[in-house]
């Protein structure tokens, strides 16, 4: 009985082993990981009976395997959801109906193995012999969220290579943590080219070099032209500003004058009184017959033209003469020092 059972077992193995072995493992497995977006690729299995499916799993911390892609027909699988900083153990196999190939195992650490694309480089020739280099770190986009490389790597710097387009020999290698680097001491009016890469110092991991970007430094003659334009613009601006200030001051002055010193005219009867000094002296006479009156000093200021002044001075002298004439008689005004018109424009 025992030999018979062994034979049956042997027959079973002979029958089922080839079926199991018929499905070939996925071939030429490769990883395409760029900016922490990782995709696994492979060649299709050689199987004639039908379309083969594939399953990819990774080993979690609890040592059980979790599906990343399950029974897919394509020959690629997005494996970006594995932890970024730890070594991921992955495995892949091919399947057809209830038959499977052997598992194929491999390892992968996203933050070490991923490719860092070049930074965006912009060169601005600002002065003769000086180039401003602006660097922009490439973004990491995961699940539609945008992250900076600095969110994943601690010590990130940029490396820059500079050469003259004519000679193609590197003249400077630069390492900088900043996104703006000023290259000085270059010749004027010469075309320089540069390339930049991101460099992760902690891992000694270089990113990809950018394409060569070339720019001509400013000619020293050009700067004079630029300066003339600048000076003219500044000069015109200052002129415009001064003109504006003058206008403002003028307007303010008029406004203040209008508000606080409105144009002013003497009462009509007072003007008449001044225009007819004879009557006024009579008036004074009638008022001061036989009495001694004290007169306050009357001061009238004029801002009118000198013509006006001279007119009023004439009037004033007339009044004075009249007063002096009558003074000898009965009227003795104690003090009338001056008399002018108070007239504002």
Provide the binding-site residues for ligand NAG, judged by CB under 6 A: 27, 37, 39, 46, 50-51, 78, 80-81, 142-143, 165, 170, 172-173, 189, 191, 214, 219, 222
Q: Which is nearer to ligand NAG, 177 or 206 (CB)?
A: 206
Residue placing its CB nearer to ligand NAG in the complex, 143 or 286? 143
Q: Tell me whether residue 193 or residue 331 sits nearer to ligand NAG (CB atom).
A: 193
Q: Compare residues 38 and 281 and give the one whose CB is closer to ligand NAG.
A: 38
d(CA 153, CA 178): 15
- Which residues, in sequence order, are CB contacts of 158 under 8 Å at separation 6+? 119, 135, 174, 175, 176, 177, 178, 179, 181, 196, 197, 198, 199
Of 124, 126, 127, give the one whose Cα is nearest residue 135: 124
CB of 78 to ligand NAG, least distance (A): 4
- Helix crossing, 277-287 with 268-275: angle to 10°? 100
The nearest distance, CB 87 to ligand NAG, in angstroms, is: 20
Least Cβ distance, residue 98 to ligand NAG (angstroms): 15
Q: How far apart are CA 44 and CA 46, in angstroms?
A: 7
Kindly compute the dihedral angle of the four CA atoms of residues 186, 190, 191, 197, in this order, to the nearest 10 degrees: 0
User: Toward ligand NAG, which CB reaches closer, 166 or 245?
Assistant: 166
**Shortest distance, position 215 Cβ to ligand NAG, whole Å:** 8
Pick the closest to residue 24 from 74, 126, 96 (CA basis).
96
Shortest CB 229 distance to ligand NAG, Å: 15
């Amino acid at each position: 009985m025992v030999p018979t059972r062994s034979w049956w077992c042997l027959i079973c193995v002979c029958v089922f082993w080839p079926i199991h072995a018929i499905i070939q493992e996925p071939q030429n497995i490769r990883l395409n990981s760029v900016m922490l977006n990782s995709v696994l690729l492979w060649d299709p299995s050689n199987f004639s009976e039908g379309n083969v499916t594939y399953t990819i799993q990774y080993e979690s911390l609890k040592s059980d395997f979790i599906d990343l892609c399950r029974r897919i027909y394509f020959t690629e699988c997005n494996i970006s959801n594995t932890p970024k900083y730890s070594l991921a153990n992955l495995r892949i196999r091919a399947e057809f109906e209830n038959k499977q190939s052997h598992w194929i195992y491999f390892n992968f650490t996203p933050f070490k193995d991923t490719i860092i694309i070049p930074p965006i480089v912009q060169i601005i020739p600002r002065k003769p012999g000086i180039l401003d280099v602006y660097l922009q770190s490439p973004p990491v986009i995961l699940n539609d969220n945008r992250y900076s490389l600095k969110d994943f790597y601690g010590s990130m710097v940029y490396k820059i290579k500079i050469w003259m387009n004519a000679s193609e020999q590197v003249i400077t290698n630069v390492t900088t943590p900043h996104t703006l680097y000023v290259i000085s001491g270059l010749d004027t009016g010469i075309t320089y080219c540069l390339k930049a890469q991101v460099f992760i110092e902690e891992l000694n991991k270089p990113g990809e070099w950018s394409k060569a970007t070339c720019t001509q430094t400013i000619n020293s003659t050009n700067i004079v032209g630029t300066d003339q334009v600048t000076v003219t613009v500044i000069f015109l601006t200052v002129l415009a500003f001064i003109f504006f200030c003058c206008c403002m001051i003028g307007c303010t002055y008029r406004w203040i004058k209008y508000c606080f010193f409105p144009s002013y005219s003497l009462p009509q009867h007072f003007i008449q009184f001044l225009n007819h000094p004879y009557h006024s002296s009579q008036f004074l006479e009638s008022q001061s017959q036989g009495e001694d009156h004290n007169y306050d000093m009357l001061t009238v200021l004029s801002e009118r033209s000198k013509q006006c002044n001279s007119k009023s001075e004439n009037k004033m002298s007339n009044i004075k003469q009249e007063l002096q004439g009558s003074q000898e008689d009965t009227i003795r005004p104690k003090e009338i020092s001056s008399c002018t018109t108070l007239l504002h424009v």
